[in-house]
Chains A and B, each alone.
Chain A
């Protein structure tokens, strides 16, 4: 069905893309005499609103217009707020500005929230039929914080059911067009002030879509209001069109939350202040920084084009002054089975609350067990059912030691090996995914093949470390080339360093912002 829709659009080569992008960024915002701000859609929005150059209502209107035009092809949203609701919030903001009242740092920023994060005024389905039309009675902490600082939540984005998968093919509702390839591009759209908060339990999505993805340390961001998948692994992160935007978003949502006992009490540094403007950089701005390239992530099984593109990124870091060395994490390949044991086991427990009794779609039966069995059978998709069954098996009496406990021991080993590597290096580098985005249906019938795609990120999640994914190039494929991303891994709670390095990398590397065909075609500049 979808293959006919994948007609190749007239594509722009990366170089043309750069030119057009630069053109856009130099849209007429009055330049101040002081330090220029980093490229950030959030800051640009704020500036144009406060200087009365544009209004929140105008921004919202143009965004909604584009959204409605592209959404039928992209299927990236499960729910979009009615126009009136969005425009009303925009109008309130405009009134505040008119009256010279304080507005938050995210004023006017339009945000999409992944549908496994609770929003009290919109359905939150976690991509599952079981929670069809479920309206949570509260906002997740991250949503509350975004709203308190002026952001407008426009809608809920698609995901694989309960977060199990990498392409949204596992969504009970719709497949994002071109699978992960364009799934979140629109949301993370630089050109239309669009940031996304989403869960990065295992994140290769940023890489597939050519955007910046930031997954913080486990415990940095509250999980209250996140539909739990695997409690020891779930982390809420953010996408942005630039590193600065990701940093600003992270700053907004980080911090201790009394409703999440695993959230850290550590102080939140000002992530938004890490960004040195490019003109102020010395010639080797990253001098002295030790970068460790993880050997195991460049070996067999990874696309050769991905390897060479990421190696180019590493060379770029060297040009910026980094000292690059190779690092080996010997336990690396055990991370994938360990991760999936832990994830299946924990999800089998977390998903036991969906019994059809207190919320969600219910299939009434003549006795209680049928109510449970049938509600769950009809509400859950196959992938979810399988993972629950695998988890149930791994946790069964007598099997716990063989699977779950061993997986936890492997987690200790991996955590320690990362710690050793990060004692000797400031950051570690790997590709963000072993390949570029899959075609729809490519991985559907082979669970292990799908799991294999997570190899770059599962170890990071097991260790609970922060990671920043940046686009660094293109390879052939699709109609406009497919983006490749690389991943920078930092020590626990060291997001500042990642952001600082990522920003410098991004600013000094031209020509690698991914412009998906749908946008490129209608670009006028």
Chain B
């Protein structure tokens, strides 16, 4: 991987901890590429593919495995940061919900919705049978 990219991907070292309103003054620059080996089980690509309902060939499982593991290891650096008492932010804004009234409205282009259905028969959307998992 390009060394320049590696420099951009470095994280702050573990000695760096956050509290709500205080930031350490000196930031030690760790120039080496930094990941944390996760204490969690590594990704089981085949199982993930089943959960995500994507049929992968064994070859694709082989191919994706190392790449996914590499990225997930890189994600792992967040585990090294002390995030105690920081509220998780659902989104950026603080405006709260601007929900519309809970009143049903008729959509005026239902035909186009039906036209998009791949297998449609006689007002039914047709799908194959559901097999029970063994």
List residues of A whose CB falls within 8 A of some B CB. 120, 134-138, 217-219, 232, 256, 258-259, 261-266, 299-302, 328, 330-331, 333-334, 336-338, 340-341, 348, 352, 355-362, 364-374, 376-377, 380, 382, 385-386, 388-390, 392-394, 396, 398-399, 402-403, 405-413, 415-417, 434-435, 446-449, 451-453, 455, 462-465, 492
Contacts and interface: CB of A to CB of B under 8 A. Distances in A.
A393 B12 contact: no
B92 A464 contact: yes
A365 B98 CA distance: 42
A219 B93 contact: yes
A403 B74 CA distance: 11
Contact of B98 (A120, A264, A299): A264
Nearest to B113: A137
Contacts of A463: 92
A137 B111 CA distance: 8
Interface string B1-39: 110110111111000101001011001010100000010
A376 B54 contact: yes
A385 B57 CA distance: 12
Contacts of B99: 261
A264 B98 CA distance: 7
A447 to B, nearest CB: 6
Given A120-B109, A265-B98, A455 B54 contact: no
A12 B2 CA distance: 32
B128 A261 contact: no
Given A136-B112, A264-B95, 7 more contacts: A138-B112, A369-B131, A371-B127, A389-B52, A398-B40, A447-B70, A451-B9
B112 A364 contact: no
A455 B7 CA distance: 11
A393 B43 contact: yes
B89 interface: yes
Contact of A219 (B95, B107, B127): B95
Contact of B12 (A334, A358, A415): A334
A299 B8 CA distance: 9
B23 A417 contact: yes
A334 B27 contact: no
Contacts of A341: 75, 78
Contact of A334 (B53, B56, B72, B81): B81
Contacts of B95: 219, 264-266
A394 B60 CA distance: 20
Contacts of B49: 389
Contacts of A218: 91-93
Given A219-B93, A446-B5, A359 B117 contact: yes
B10, B18, B27, B52, most chain A CB atoms within 10 A:
B52
A94 to B, nearest CB: 29
B78 A406 contact: yes
A413 B86 contact: yes
A376 B51 CA distance: 12
B27 A389 contact: no
A449 B78 contact: no
Contact of A411 (B43, B92, B113): B92
Contacts of A393: 43, 48, 68, 72
Interface in B83-134: 83, 86-93, 95, 97-100, 107, 109-113, 115-119, 125, 127-131
A312 B110 CA distance: 56
Nearest to A449: B5
B91 A262 contact: yes
A394 B72 CA distance: 8
B118 A359 contact: yes
